[in-house]
Amino acid sequence: MKSRLKKQRSVISMVLGLVLVLPFVTVHSAESIKPILGDDGLYHQSWFLTSFMDLKEDLAEAQAEGKRFAVLWEQKGCPYCRDLHTINFADPKINKYVRENFVVLQLNMWGDREVTDFDGETLPEKAIARKWGVVFTPTMQFFVEESELKAGKGGRDQMVWMMPGYFRKGHFLGSFEFVKERIYEKRHFQKYIGEKLAAESPSGDH
């Protein structure tokens, strides 16, 4: 009798443990891809880089983590910026891939925060945007690795790839793979993404 009661208590404890743990896991996973609308009017991801705005240091930090470095430009009221967060980054596969392989710094195309460019020049965000040729949002810029930095050159000359505008999910994820796997060294993006998407389900959401 005591043995049976002990076994029942053990089963009850295990079930209660699952009841307590599983909701936490589910909520945590959902929260990790839920965008946050900030006071600045921009949507943010909780895992975006918190930066001192020195881009060479940010690049070095990404490198130390075994990741590539990217800058995402957005602006308040941009509907495609919202879609980037609520559609693209809301996809668990995309969110996981980017988080695991990239450090992303979000900048405001009209912002006033001081940013130190790769060439050492310190300017407000909006001036860096003009200097780099950013004219609309969202724009995602991907940069060289630390050992490949060109001395005395700003971010415009340190890029390996850029997403100028909103890319649908297939092209969006493909851009990150294009950089992470250094495919840009061998092939043009349009050829790469065309073959990649053709190899996948033709009826899928590209």
Per the structure block, which two tokens stand in for 59? 């690049």
More confidently predicted of 2 and 77: 77
Which is it for the CA torsion 189, 195, 198, 200, positive or negative?
negative
**pTM of the shown model:** 0.81
> Tens digits of per-residue pLDDT, 94-131?
999 999 999 999 999 999 999 999 999 999 999 999 99
> Tens digits of per-residue pLDDT, 120-174?
999 999 999 999 999 999 999 999 999 999 999 999 999 999 999 999 999 999 9
Question: Could you tell me the residue ranges of all domains in the chain?
Answer: 35-199
In this prediction, what percent of the chain has a pLDDT beyond 70? 82
pLDDT band at 203 (very low <50, low <70, confident <90, very high): low
Superfamily for the 35-199 domain: Glutaredoxin (3.40.30.10)
Give the H or E element holding residue 93. Answer: helix 92-101
- Rounded CA-CA distance 46/48 in Å is 6
Residue-level pLDDT at 201: 67
